[in-house]
Structure 1
Amino acid sequence: MFTRSLRSSLPPLSRSFPRPAPSPLLIRPQITRSMQTSTCRSAKYERFPSGYSPSPSPNGGGGPNVWQYFKRRLGGDRAVWVYGVGVGGGGIYYVTHLERVPETGRLRFMDVDEAQERELGRQTQLQTLNEYSRAVLPPNHPTSKRVRAVATRIIESSGLGRVKSGGEMGAVEGKVPNFGGGEDIGEILFGGGEAGQAAKEGKETEWEVYVIDDKKTKNAFVLPGGKIFVFTGILPVSANDDGLATVLGHEVAHQVARHPAERMSSMKVLFALGFLLESLGLDVGITRLLLTFMLQLPNSRKNESEADFIGLRLMSKACFDPNESTKMWQRMSESEKGRGLPTDFLSTHPANEKRIRQLEKWMPDALSIRAASPCGDTSSYYSGFMDRLNPSSPYSKSIW
């Protein structure tokens, strides 16, 4: 009863209250928008960086604009002109400095004159003598006399100059400085100095022979200007005068063909090509590998083969037996005992087996040169005469 009376006193729930009228400021106009969709585009891989406009092609497609890439890489239109003028001028300079090796007719680039070459050779001579000052054998040593006699026959038979005697060599060795020359670098590069002046005046080359007592080094080399260095380690491999003539003829041939000057000239070309490739964005390491395996090493092996050919002719004209050249390289292979590379692709020198095949190919020509030389059949008796004159042969393995 109490609940019913309470409900009757409450107002009815269905009663509605008035709402205020909406303000005009709150009324928003209805905006209608049309829906549009764009064309679907798929991601595309481009070899060149983004930002390069594709070149239109006849079929409507496009590809990377290589010219725009190069132009941006070089630094703009002005830089392209500068590079173009530089490459064009370098090409003209390269073509105008091409020459042929007189002995073989091979075409090469050469821009180092003889004065520069001789002066650099003289500086290397002084440094080498200073380094091995305690190991240089005296000029009157039997080994020095024997090596100098072989060198004299090779050089003077071909009219390449004269070899200094033992007394003259003593005077040369007395001029060795303590720190290797000390000449001004300008004199070296521009052909100054004593040797450079002698080359400009056209003086006859005076060859100097040095024997270094180093039994572990199987090497011999000739510097520009006629500086011959022979290590005693090569004597057991050469075994006799004809074998030593093979070694000396090869080294003298490098100077006859001016291979050191050719290498100095080619270094300029390699530097220019490396700078150009790196400017175009090629990696420095890849650039050096390409230039080394495609230009530097092949040219070095070509020079070595050319020296083998010229040296074989020089020793044949000096009445030495050219057949001993192949035997000498066979002994060299045996002495190396597999330490050499199986292929010459990674080496500056051809493989010994390849050298032997080339020498055998050139052998008929060498034998004809030897037969036409003034010595004729008497050359075979010369070595026997020298053996009787000097019984203590420096080529005996027991001595070394």
Structure 2
Amino acid sequence: MLPILRPSLGVVASSVIGQRAGLTAVVGTRALAAASAAFRTRARARLSTALQSTTATSTITRSFLHDHPYPSSQQQLRAYGRHVTSPRLYSGTPTPPPRRPTPTARGPPPWGVQQHQQRRFASNDWWNRSFNERIDPYGVHRRYADPLFTNQDLKRAARHQNTKYFAVFCVAGTIIFYFINLETVPVSGRTRFNIYSRKRVVEAGDLSYRRLLYDLEQQGVGVLPDWDYRTQRVKRVMAKLIPFSGMRDEKWKIFVIDDPHTANAFVLPGGKVFVFSGILQLARTDSQLATVLGHEIAHNVADHVGERMSQNIGVNILLYSLVVLTSVFGLGVLIAQFAGAWALNTAISNPMSRKQESEADYIGLMMMAEACYDPREAVTFWKRMNRTTQEKVPEWMSTHPSHSNRIEKIQEWLPEALEKRERSDCRTTASFADLFRQALLNGVVEIRQY
């Protein structure tokens, strides 16, 4: 019997297990459906509550703006905190809070609240804006500001008729200002533009003097002491040139810089003399050194520093006007700036600088001749400069005349310089530089020495 009963027991067991599994599946499916229905019910309830809260906030905000046509900052913050960040949920149709008078509240506009509301709510898309714009329609709380000027605004302003009138007024005023400040340079008869007085030029020279001393100290370049033979030589030549410089009342200070690789010398306004030791190797005699120092002193006698400062103002005005015009028409600003600067320097600054150098050569030659130095040594010095230093750029691109042209001009002036040296007693007070400065102040071109 056992072999026959074993299959029947397996069938019974399998049928029982299958019934229980089916019952479990039915119960689980029903439980899952019930849980899903409960979740959907709760989600609908929460969504309905959120919509009611949003409707209440919008209604209260409308009532707040209606009661406060000109909301103050405190009222805006109070409304924002009460109606937006408050955890309370409104149900139904909420009633607006009573108006609380504040010390900063403003009164109604002069044309009435109703007319004001009609003007403010005339636009249909007003309520489609963000909350910050709705709570403050005047744009105080906007997060992103529009650009101050756009290309469209600049082009519209450039084409406006008032802009044309303003441009004509500026051009006319500039032309009048330019002709008022013109003056004539003695001897050469050149007309130049100069707006700086002697006092302002001396102040600018004092600033340059202090800046130069600071830069030399930072670079570790030393100044030779007074007992050094090179300093003694420069002071000896300057002592003979100063009485004929036309600037005897200046507070002269002489500095010899210990830099044998730099062949340079200059005189700042106010009597500050700087000589680099490298120039002393080229100016081997006192007459040749007087050629260099007389030339640098002559720049101050003719007030070339003030002329250059005035010239820079005009050049900068032209340059930045060109940059503005190119930006309006959409051209490259950087290209216009570099190209304009090169063109203005080539056409205006460099030719003016070469004329100033020629004037300084002439005044310095007459000065050293009256101080009893040999003016023929000036030709020797510039010939040595021509052999030593090679000119890297052509003359029309340089701020100085070429050495060959300089030598040619000095040879033309040599007869007059030699005549002044013969008539000079090396002690006179009526020097050529004094007469030049008087003629410059009086606007006289020809200098007569009696």
Question: Is 1:135 matched up with 2:135?
Answer: no
Task: Verify the 8 A CA contact 1:73 1:280 in the aligned structure 2.
Answer: no
What is the alpha-carbon distance in structure 2 between the residues aligned to residue 132 and residue 286 of structure 1? 33
Written as runs of structure 1 = structure 2, the 5 A alignment for 1:1-400 is 74-133=158-217, 134-161=221-248, 204-281=249-326, 283-336=336-389, 338=390, 340-341=391-392, 343-375=394-426
* Partner secondary structure for residue 239 of structure 1: coil
Provide runs of 4+ in structure 1 moved above 4 Å: none
What is the alpha-carbon distance in structure 1 between the residues aligned to residue 413 and residue 200 of structure 2? 33
Task: Verify the 8 A CA contact 1:208 1:227 in the aligned structure 2.
Answer: yes
Structure with greater helix percent? 2
| Offset, 1:292 | 1.2
Task: Verify the 8 A CA contact 2:224 2:257 in the aligned structure 1.
Answer: yes
Distance of aligned partners of 1:259 and 1:78 in 2 relative to their CA distance in 1, 3 Å threshold: same
What is the alpha-carbon distance in structure 2 between the residues aligned to residue 114 and residue 228 of structure 1? 18
| Offset, 1:145 | 1.5
| Offset, 1:343 | 2.1
Distance of aligned partners of 1:260 and 1:159 in 2 relative to their CA distance in 1, 3 Å threshold: closer
What is the alpha-carbon distance in structure 2 between the residues aligned to residue 252 and residue 332 of structure 1? 19
Task: Verify the 8 A CA contact 2:245 2:301 in the aligned structure 1.
Answer: no
What is the alpha-carbon distance in structure 2 between the residues aligned to residue 206 and residue 129 of structure 1? 17
Distance of aligned partners of 1:132 and 1:272 in 2 relative to their CA distance in 1, 3 Å threshold: closer
Task: Verify the 8 A CA contact 2:245 2:298 in the aligned structure 1.
Answer: no
Task: Verify the 8 A CA contact 2:246 2:301 in the aligned structure 1.
Answer: no
Q: Percent identity between the aligned chains?
A: 40
Q: Spell out, residue by residue over 1:201-254, the C-alpha distance to the aligned partner (whole angstroms, 9 max, x if none).
A: xxx212111111110000001101110000110011011100000000000001
What is the alpha-carbon distance in structure 1 between the residues aligned to residue 321 and residue 208 of structure 2? 32
Q: Spell out, residue by residue over 1:250-272, the C-alpha distance to the aligned partner (whole angstroms, 9 max, x if none).
A: 00001111111111100111112
- Calculate the TM-score normalised by the size of structure 2: 0.55
What is the alpha-carbon distance in structure 1 between the residues aligned to residue 159 and residue 350 of structure 2? 33
* Partner secondary structure for residue 132 of structure 1: helix
Gap regions ≥5 residues in structure 2: 1-154, 428-450
What is the alpha-carbon distance in structure 2 between the residues aligned to residue 81 and residue 92 of structure 1? 17
Whichever residue aligns with residue 329 of structure 1, its letter is: W
Distance of aligned partners of 1:206 and 1:104 in 2 relative to their CA distance in 1, 3 Å threshold: farther
Whichever residue aligns with residue 162 of structure 2, its letter is: R
| Offset, 1:72 | 7.7
Gap regions ≥5 residues in structure 1: 1-70, 162-203, 377-400
Distance of aligned partners of 1:284 and 1:227 in 2 relative to their CA distance in 1, 3 Å threshold: same
Whichever residue aligns with residue 277 of structure 1, its letter is: L
Task: Verify the 8 A CA contact 1:341 1:351 in the aligned structure 2.
Answer: no
What is the alpha-carbon distance in structure 1 between the residues aligned to residue 247 and residue 411 of structure 2? 26
Task: Verify the 8 A CA contact 1:99 1:109 in the aligned structure 2.
Answer: yes
* Partner secondary structure for residue 227 of structure 2: coil
* Partner secondary structure for residue 366 of structure 1: helix
Q: How many residues align?
A: 262
What is the alpha-carbon distance in structure 2 between the residues aligned to residue 98 and residue 329 of structure 1? 33
Alignment partner, residue 385 of structure 1 = none
Task: Verify the 8 A CA contact 1:341 1:347 in the aligned structure 2.
Answer: no
Distance of aligned partners of 1:74 and 1:359 in 2 relative to their CA distance in 1, 3 Å threshold: farther
Task: Verify the 8 A CA contact 2:294 2:364 in the aligned structure 1.
Answer: yes
| Offset, 1:345 | 1.2
Distance of aligned partners of 1:145 and 1:106 in 2 relative to their CA distance in 1, 3 Å threshold: same
What is the alpha-carbon distance in structure 2 between the residues aligned to residue 358 and residue 290 of structure 1? 28
| Offset, 1:322 | 0.5
What is the alpha-carbon distance in structure 2 between the residues aligned to residue 259 and residue 251 of structure 1? 10
| Offset, 1:130 | 2.7
Task: Verify the 8 A CA contact 1:304 1:349 in the aligned structure 2.
Answer: yes
| Offset, 1:108 | 0.6
| Offset, 1:73 | 9.0
Q: Spell out, residue by residue over 1:57-80, the C-alpha distance to the aligned partner (whole angstroms, 9 max, x if none).
A: xxxxxxxxxxxxxx9894321111
Whichever residue aligns with residue 266 of structure 2, its letter is: F
* Partner secondary structure for residue 349 of structure 1: coil
| Offset, 1:158 | 4.0
